[in-house]
Amino acid sequence: MTARRAHPLPGLPERVTIYEVGPRDGLQNEAVTVPTAVKREFIERLVDAGLSVVEATSFVRPDWVPQLGDAEDLVATLERRDGVRYPVLVPNERGLDRALASGIDEVAIFGSATETFAQRNLNRSIDESIAMFAPVAERALAAGARVRGYVSMCFGDPWEGDVPVAQVVEVGLRLLELGCFELSLGDTIGVGTPGHVRALLDAFGERGVMPGQLAVHFHDTYGMALANTVEALRWGVTVVDASAGGLGGCPYAQSATGNLATEDLVWLLQGLGVETGVDLGKLVETSRWMAEQLGRPAPSRVVQAMSAS
């Protein structure tokens, strides 16, 4: 079932941009390394399905995340298309050097709202990680590249428990002050609920952060990703991170399973009459194909439902 009548709700945006993270966040957790040619075809299929932002890879040390050790080779083979963005994650200046040399014009830096995760993910404190990001952002901007900021563990941390809203806001503001055009708020272990989402967004708003500066990145560990997304849209957020087929999580947080599946997000938004520019049928077929490459079913509920129909 793909043709449905939309039933809009008041207070939602007319259009949402989906920031597709499957090729990077989705594949970084795989037990086996996916061949570069398969990654390239995955990205091309996602673009063919109508996704205009596809995070292609990460220029991280191959011994840290071997699944993404082919970043240069992958980027070199991508067919760049007008109107499509191919951002990459860069952890430090070395990663930035590699990205800029590859012709990348949009990068992302990945911070943490908690000290424990900052140490586990970056082997640095929050202050030390911000200090590491500062020259990355400065040099990227000077080179004409845009910089996105991620904040992980915004709603809870497996080691520290609840994360104070004010703590998240302070870290986020520091990344925005570095020149990030957009800040993605991550529910890395999927414990957020709509009221918590509203409280966090309100706290950013009280500090002068506008809806156009924020994106959300929900994991579906406890089945709350879509409910949380609707609350974020009601607040004014119009950029939502998602992963085709529901692939991925976080390699440094074992409980961080279940990225919000792009298909599930598109199904929701279509039912609400919110434009995405995505062809759901093509997207489902892409995730089916990728699941075959990985040798296991796609976690996405919509992929499963449409594959059975």
Q: Of 116, 100, 105, nearest to 159 (Cα)?
A: 116
**How many helices and strands (H and E) does the chain possess?**
11, 9
Q: Of 141, 122, 138, 3, nearest to 58 (Cα)?
A: 122
Residue 51 buriedness (CB in 10 A; 0-12 / 13-18 / 19+): buried
Residue 297, φ and ψ in degrees, nearest 5: -65, 155
Catalytic: which of 18, 250, 283, 303? 250
Q: Does 250 qualify as catalytic in the annotation?
A: yes
Q: How far apart are the first and last CA of the chain?
A: 7
The three-class DSSP label of residue 166 is helix
Q: What distance in Å separates the CA atoms of residue 250 and residue 122, rounded to the nearest whole number?
A: 13
Cα angle at 252 between 118 and 245, to 5 degrees?
125
Q: What distance in Å separates the CA atoms of residue 62 and residue 48, rounded to the nearest whole number?
A: 29
Q: Of 122, 129, 74, 130, nearest to 99 (Cα)?
A: 74
Residue 43, φ and ψ in degrees, nearest 5: -65, -45
Q: CB of 232 within 8 A of CB of 268? A: no
Count how many residues are written for the chain.
309
Cα angle at 63 between 57 and 65, to 5 degrees?
35
What is the radius of gyration, based on Cα positions, of the chain? 18
Which residues are annotated as catalytic? Answer: 250
